[in-house]
Amino acid sequence: MKNMKMKIVMPKLWSKWIILVLLISVLVSLWNRSSITESDDDYSSLSPPPPQPPPADASTSFEFLTTRLLQRDSVGQGSNRDHLQYDFYRNTCPDAEEMVRKSMMRIHSQHPEVSAALLRLLFHDCFIEGCDASIFLDDSRGNQSHQIEKDAVPNRTLKGFEKIDMIKEEIESHCPGVVSCADILALATREGIVLAGGPFYPLFTGRRDSAESYFAEAMAEIPRPDDNIRQILRLFHHRGFTERDTVSLLGAHSIGSIGCEFIEGRLHSFLNTGMPDLTMATDFLTEMREKCNNGTNSTNGGGVSSMSMKSHSVIRRSSGFTGEEDQLASISSIGGFSSHYYKGLLRGRGLLHSDQQLMADERTARFVRAYVNDDGTTFRRDFARAMMKMSSLGVLTGSEGHIRENCSSLASSFSSS
């Protein structure tokens, strides 16, 4: 009878432990150190689909390991990221993350470009005073005359606001005044990355929304397309990112599209010199001039694609490119979420000057070469970990900030924690 009882109980125990082991392995793999060079991190892979929430008795272990990972990355930054929690809305809006996931699947099926749009939107929000949804505000502290982040030159071409508003409206109908716009943007961006073929990465929640918008800071601190490597590293280092983090995050340019206005100077008179950007490969310069002069691939008078909008749910890491795909990748970075972006840099085919600048300094160039020589796994690992850091920059938690009912307005904001 004792043996029979064991046979009945064991499957349940095993299934419970399997879930726990899988979750812990994701986080431990991020924690482990091996090398591109002996002193550099080599992060373990995170791949979709996202893991299921752990059983109740596994929660403590999951939170402990993820908290330690984030703590290691936030030393000296003085952030509130340690106050974020795993499954923060488990009691107040338990279906929040699932609603975000399903909404993103619907949106992406009709608008696959949303992945790149939200990734850029998150970056521009988090890079300026933290991930607080200040980028959405139509006024600052109720002052309609105050200049807002949306009006800053680097932010005028941002897209995806209405997609976050759609998700927010759905969540508000189920859990009014509970889930912040900052959390929705972080979660939706993660789901968009996965849908575009990128890596899954765990996220804590509990962010709150800012009451202030930061126009001046956005004008001064958002990286520019024509920045040199010193300027790029200064801006990223100031926010706690290493050279390796910086190179992996710029790999986000492997998806999306860019208007010709962003590279026009490179093609004809870079920095008003009357000469094109000499860091561009000659044949690439010719190709880009033809694309922009022909006004193709854009609804705004000309543009070039950073990737095809076709997503790939499975990345074939070992198959490489076909001859045709390799040619396309060198022209317009077509190839999906992968290390093809870095292959273009080795050949002088970065679309933005700031992209190509990663090859101008050995501190960053060595990582470009490492990603090219890898099967794509290392880039995906590094990008996942860097996105965890990016999504936790300067967050407001606890009694700080608000929970906005409408992401663009402070009216009807909820201040209770």
Q: Is 55 annotated as a binding residue?
A: no
Whole-number Å distance between alpha carbons of 66 and 87: 12
Q: Of the candidates 28, 21, 245, which has an alpha carbon nearest to the alpha carbon of residue 127? A: 245
Whole-number Å distance between alpha carbons of 77 and 87: 24
Q: Is 253 annotated as a binding residue?
A: yes
Question: Which residues, including other chains, have CB under 8 Å from residue 226's CB and lie 6 or more apart?
Answer: 265, 266, 270, 271, 352, 353, 354
- The single residue of 124, 340, 353, 402 carrying the catalytic annotation is 124
Residue with tokens 């349940």: 12
Q: Is 130 annotated as a binding residue?
A: yes
Q: Quick check: is 124 catalytic?
A: yes
3-class SS at 406?
strand
Query: Partners of 257 in the beta sheet?
Result: 305
Side chain identity at residue 289, one-letter code: R
Query: Partners of 230 in the beta sheet?
Result: none
Q: Is 134 annotated as a binding residue?
A: yes
| Cis amide prior to 55 (ω within 30 degrees) | no
Q: Is 287 annotated as a binding residue?
A: no
b/e sequence 246-281, b meaning 16+ C-beta within 10 Å: bbbbbbbbbbbbbbbebbebbbeebeeeeebbebbb
Q: Is 268 annotated as a binding residue?
A: no
Residue 49 tokens read as: 């689909």
Please report the DSSP string for 28-60 in residue order: HHHH----SSTTS--PPP--SSPPPPPPGGGHH
Whole-number Å distance between alpha carbons of 200 and 195: 9
**Using N-to-C axis directions, what is the helix angle for 2-31 and 59-73, rounded to 10°?**
10
Whole-number Å distance between alpha carbons of 134 and 25: 35
**Using N-to-C axis directions, what is the helix angle for 114-126 and 96-110, rounded to 10°?**
130
Q: Which helix (H) or strand (E) holds 106?
A: helix 96-110
Question: Which residues, including other chains, have CB under 8 Å from residue 142's CB and lie 6 or more apart?
Answer: 410
Residue with tokens 């939107």: 121
Q: Are strands 257-259 and 303-305 parallel, antiparallel or unpaired?
A: antiparallel
DSSP class of residue 265 equals H
Q: Is 42 annotated as a binding residue?
A: no
Rg (CA), the chain: 22
Whole-number Å distance between alpha carbons of 270 and 328: 25
Whole-number Å distance between alpha carbons of 263 and 260: 5
Could you list the residues known to form a binding site for substrate, using ranges.
Answer: 223
Could you list the residues known to form a binding site, using ranges.
Answer: 125, 130, 132, 134, 149, 223, 253
Catalytic residue numbers, as ranges: 124
Could you list the residues known to form a binding site for Ca(2+), using ranges.
Answer: 125, 130, 132, 134, 149
Could you list the residues known to form a binding site for heme b, using ranges.
Answer: 253
